[in-house]
Structure 1
Amino acid sequence: MEALHETGVTVRSATPDDTVGGVLPRWVALPESTAEVAALMRVSAAHDLAVVPAGNGTKLGWGNPPERCDLLIDTRHMLLDNGSTVEHSFGDLVAQVGAGLPLDVLNSTLSRFGQELALDGTPRAGTVGGTLATAIAGPRRFRYGTARDLLIGVTVVLADGTIASSGGKVVKNVAGYDLGKLFTGSYGTLGVITEATFRLHPILTDRRWITVEPHASGEPASPAGGGHGAAALVTELASALAEPSAIELEWPDLLGTPTVSALVEGVAAGARAEAVRRLMDGYGNALITAEAPAWWAVPPGEDVLLELRVPPAAAYPALRAVAARGLPARVRGSVASAVLWVALPADVDEAAFAGFVTGLRDDLRRLGGALTVLTAPGEITRGVDRWGPSGALPLMRRIKERFDPGRRMSPGRFVGGI
């Protein structure tokens, strides 16, 4: 479209590599600044173009396929106003970052100053914008919180091309809204995140992982029978004086015994790790290592991946519910924070998948939990709502109407077809 080229932004035709959940855009734009994104959005508004923001594309298969996608905005070439990708305030432990910067590149830059953005569990090439848009967080959420907790300022471009900011480095506020909290986890349905400002932490270089396969606590063989010992161990670790930064569970076979691993880092890490090892030895043979287990902060699968959330006290009943569904699921994640990944076999059929998701959601609802289908082939999700029911849906729809009344921002990708 000629109007897109008139913005001065590089625009090319889309290729199959640009597909969003199976939907191929018409064009891909490569802006280099927030102002250029605003220009693209003004043209899109004038011509009723549906827009999807993207970084390195590591999570473009997550969520619902968009109802339509005319323009993919690739944020990887964007710079801050000062011409850099990172503006680091060392003394304040703060960094302002372009949305298209991969997290591993950001932390490599910050590490030279002994600081980091304490987020993990994202794909290696995952960008700042993609991490915020999908609200993904890894093992150390137990100590440091999630992206939403570490975000102190954000700049976005709204559907009509308005540039708005909130928090640190404010340019223009949208009255009454905390943009950082609204846009984190919104899957690109409210606008385009172009810049973010984060609170940083000093790098704690002395790190020890303590790993154990818990005993089955003498329970009879049954689905998730070995989980009770793991649940008891996690409860003890969560309140331990050694203050682990993360407590993760790896359960490749729900008829077997799970592995539990805890991370201790910082001051007196060696002595604290030894204290954790002694605690864990009551559940199995605990080992201390200087390297993380190979499965740490890595999703248990890529083809069919779900996210399970429940109150921490309901984590063990939730695991039993997963096992009782009868499919060979692999579970990994934080029992202490009660956010778990569930991977199913790539060859699961449509009926089995629908039965698993529907039945497990019924079980989790009674526990105060929820289940989201992060990614799965379209042919097995036809009869399944990837997001499931949400009591907040009426409010979310009002927010969508406020920010994107024309339904042009990633239409249909989020909860309730927002």
Structure 2
Amino acid sequence: MAAAAESTGATEITRRLAAICGPSFARRAGAADEVAGRVARWVAVPGGPEAAAEVLRLAARHDLSVVPRGAGTKIDWGVPPGRVDILLDTGRLAGIGHQPAGAPVAEIGAGTPLRAVQATLERTGRRLPLDPPSPGATLGGVLAADEAGPLRHRHGTACEQLVGLRWLAADGELVGAGVGPTEPSAGAVPVGLDVGRLLCGSQGGLGVLVSATVRVQAAPASRIWVTRPVWTPLEVHDLVRAVLAARLDPAAVELDLPAAGAASPREESALAAARANHPSVAGRRAGAPRRGSGTLAVLLEGGPADVAERVDRLVALFEGEAAVDSAAPHWWRRYPFGPGDTALRVEMPTSDLHAAVYALRDAAGVPVPVRGSAGLGVVHTALPAAMPEERVAAVLAAVRGVLLARRGRCVVVAAPPAVRRAVDVWGEAAAIPRLRAAKDHLDPHRRLAPGRLPGGL
């Protein structure tokens, strides 16, 4: 009898979701409809903000949890929610709001793929200064994961570029923060943009993003990448410091240190001796060619003459070991981890990046790849998929101990289920009190992605 009642209830929920979203846009979930390994019960694809609000009101009446999903490029990041009843697909909450030609901002639907936005803006010689590594990512997904690419160095993250934001609280109430060219807060309960920015990195745990108003700029006339081979983290430290001190106004300063190119302890000692005896070598690897080394890449953008002048200065700074190209390196905007790896994001002051990389490699006991924004001290790395969960936990503890004294942190971005169960994914999270207050206000009954936020919120 209980099973029959459950089946009847599930059928009724499916019928009501279909009435809200349309018969083709609501269904029972399948095996592929999961969030970090937690399988959903239903999938709903509302056609607009009001339909999305109706889905949330239906969930509230039946005490069902809701997890938003964009393109799903980062759906396995973080910790799994406690339960996923309704997977709310934002694919139909898409589009670019009408705006005057040359407007400095644009209102964009949360479900809009970034590459579609860039293609539309490109036709008028403009762009969003956003370049997250996830292919096919939506703007809402980028905000929900607080994802950033190389251009973060000059322009900041998507969250930092927000001018306005609209989202739905757990009870379906439309909330607006900031303003934009089409008044995105119209019809919404207004709050401060600082509250809206709490949704960045919340993975759907504070609200369902409807639209965001972000800055738009003219596309640069010239883009040039200057690369230089590097061998050790200490060498990277010295070069990054020199680049930043040279006032070259780089758009991005990125590092790629492959695991295969990691120097051995003997090579590290040889380099240290060379540096001590010949400071002018500026960190070159002693007595060996640069086979298998890593790469430091600097992107310069602007007018052709200005960029050419800065390129010449940078090549001189790199002492003849530079390569100049109008195309990005093959690893640019790509994460160093793959399926099954334990992916980590390490953040620390730029001056301590080398210490964090050394600590990571020492703790892991094996060479690990490091890639990311060396100019900001934000990099990603990967521990091998075969590494046991207890070993991963020990590596995390050692690295976090080093970072704690340097005002840094290490977050587990993605990991196999056994690792996620065995480790503290977030580590120290100073924002927990503010997140708890926001959760209590926007989702007091813990229906939105329960457990996805730091502290199990």
Instruction: Provide TM-score, normalisation by structure 2.
Output: 0.85
Contact residue 38 and residue 162 of structure 1 kept, 8 A = yes
> How many percent of aligned residue pairs carry the same amino acid?
36
Please state if 1:237 is matched with 2:243.
yes
User: Residues of 2 paired with 1:209 and 1:119: CA distance?
Assistant: 17
Instruction: Choose from 290, 296, 313 the match for 1:275.
Output: 313
Could you tell me how far 1:176 is from its partner in structure 2? 5.1
Alignment of 1:128-277 (within 5 A): 128-168=139-179, 169=183, 170-171=185-186, 172-175=188-191, 178-214=194-230, 226-253=232-259, 254-255=262-263, 257-267=293-303, 268-277=306-315
Please state if 1:397 is matched with 2:410.
no
Match for residue 12 of structure 1? 27
Match for residue 95 of structure 1? 106
Closer/same/farther in 2, CA of residues 249 and 8 from structure 1, 3 Å limit: closer
User: In the TM superposition, what whole-angstrom CA distance separates every residue of 1:285-304 from its partner, at most 9, and x where no partner exists?
Assistant: 11101110001111011332
User: Residues of 2 paired with 1:202 and 1:124: CA distance?
Assistant: 23
User: In the TM superposition, what whole-angstrom CA distance separates every residue of 1:121-175 from its partner, at most 9, and x where no partner exists?
Assistant: 3311000000000111111111111111211111101100101111122222344
Contact residue 177 and residue 191 of structure 2 kept, 8 A = no
AA of the residue aligned to 2:343? L
Contact residue 50 and residue 71 of structure 1 kept, 8 A = yes
User: Residues of 2 paired with 1:395 and 1:96: CA distance?
Assistant: 27
AA of the residue aligned to 1:186? S
AA of the residue aligned to 1:17? A
Match for residue 361 of structure 2? 323
Query: What's the secondary structure of 1:64's corresponding residue?
Result: coil
User: In the TM superposition, what whole-angstrom CA distance separates every residue of 1:231-283 from its partner, at most 9, and x where no partner exists?
Assistant: 111011123232111101111134365321100111222221121111112xx
Could you tell me how far 1:335 is from its partner in structure 2? 1.7
Query: What's the secondary structure of 2:375's corresponding residue?
Result: coil
User: In the TM superposition, what whole-angstrom CA distance separates every residue of 1:172-204 from its partner, at most 9, and x where no partner exists?
Assistant: 234456343111111100110011111111111
User: Residues of 2 paired with 1:138 and 1:91: CA distance?
Assistant: 25
Contact residue 21 and residue 44 of structure 2 kept, 8 A = no
Could you tell me how far 1:38 is from its partner in structure 2? 0.7
Contact residue 87 and residue 97 of structure 1 kept, 8 A = no
Task: Provide the aligned length of Structure 1 versus Structure 2.
Answer: 402
Please state if 1:384 is matched with 2:423.
yes
Contact residue 152 and residue 198 of structure 1 kept, 8 A = yes
CA RMSD of aligned residues (A): 1.6
AA of the residue aligned to 1:205? A
Could you tell me how far 1:328 is from its partner in structure 2? 2.6
User: Residues of 2 paired with 1:65 and 1:150: CA distance?
Assistant: 28
Please state if 1:334 is matched with 2:347.
no
Could you tell me how far 1:380 is from its partner in structure 2? 2.3
Instruction: Choose from 401, 407, 424 the match for 1:368.
Output: 407
Could you tell me how far 1:393 is from its partner in structure 2? 1.7
Could you tell me how far 1:320 is from its partner in structure 2? 1.5
Query: What's the secondary structure of 2:27's corresponding residue?
Result: strand
Query: Gaps (5+ residues) in structure 1?
Result: 217-225
Match for residue 88 of structure 2? 73
Query: What's the secondary structure of 1:38's corresponding residue?
Result: helix
Query: What's the secondary structure of 2:102's corresponding residue?
Result: helix
User: Residues of 2 paired with 1:366 and 1:178: CA distance?
Assistant: 28
User: Residues of 2 paired with 1:5 and 1:291: CA distance?
Assistant: 47
Match for residue 53 of structure 2? 38
User: In the TM superposition, what whole-angstrom CA distance separates every residue of 1:292-351 from its partner, at most 9, and x where no partner exists?
Assistant: 000111101133211001122222211221121123311001121111101122222212
Bigger radius of gyration, 1 or 2? 2
Please state if 1:298 is matched with 2:309.
no
Please state if 1:416 is matched with 2:455.
yes
Instruction: Provide TM-score, normalisation by structure 1.
Output: 0.92
Query: What's the secondary structure of 2:159's corresponding residue?
Result: helix
Contact residue 28 and residue 74 of structure 1 kept, 8 A = yes
User: Residues of 1 paired with 2:108 and 2:302: CA distance?
Assistant: 26
Could you tell me how far 1:8 is from its partner in structure 2? 4.3
Contact residue 328 and residue 344 of structure 1 kept, 8 A = no
Match for residue 274 of structure 2? none
Closer/same/farther in 2, CA of residues 138 and 410 from structure 1, 3 Å limit: same
Query: What's the secondary structure of 2:38's corresponding residue?
Result: coil
Query: Gaps (5+ residues) in structure 2?
Result: 1-12, 265-292
Instruction: Choose from 73, 78, 84 the match for 1:63.
Output: 78
Closer/same/farther in 2, CA of residues 333 and 17 from structure 1, 3 Å limit: same
Closer/same/farther in 2, CA of residues 235 and 89 from structure 1, 3 Å limit: farther
AA of the residue aligned to 1:341? H
Query: What's the secondary structure of 2:59's corresponding residue?
Result: helix
User: Please, which moves more after superposition, 156-165 or 10-19?
Assistant: 10-19
AA of the residue aligned to 1:29? A
User: Residues of 2 paired with 1:174 and 1:406: CA distance?
Assistant: 22
Query: What's the secondary structure of 2:35's corresponding residue?
Result: coil
Could you tell me how far 1:391 is from its partner in structure 2? 2.7
**Is the helix fraction higher in 1 or 2?**
2
User: Residues of 2 paired with 1:103 and 1:89: CA distance?
Assistant: 20
Query: What's the secondary structure of 1:92's corresponding residue?
Result: coil
Instruction: Choose from 129, 147, 152 the match for 1:118.
Output: 129
AA of the residue aligned to 2:413? L
User: In the TM superposition, what whole-angstrom CA distance separates every residue of 1:355-381 from its partner, at most 9, and x where no partner exists?
Assistant: 111211111111111111111110222
Match for residue 223 of structure 1? none
AA of the residue aligned to 1:114? G
Match for residue 280 of structure 2? none
User: Residues of 2 paired with 1:278 and 1:176: CA distance?
Assistant: 47
Query: What's the secondary structure of 1:91's corresponding residue?
Result: coil
Instruction: Choose from 88, 94, 106 the match for 2:117.
Output: 106
Please state if 1:348 is matched with 2:387.
yes
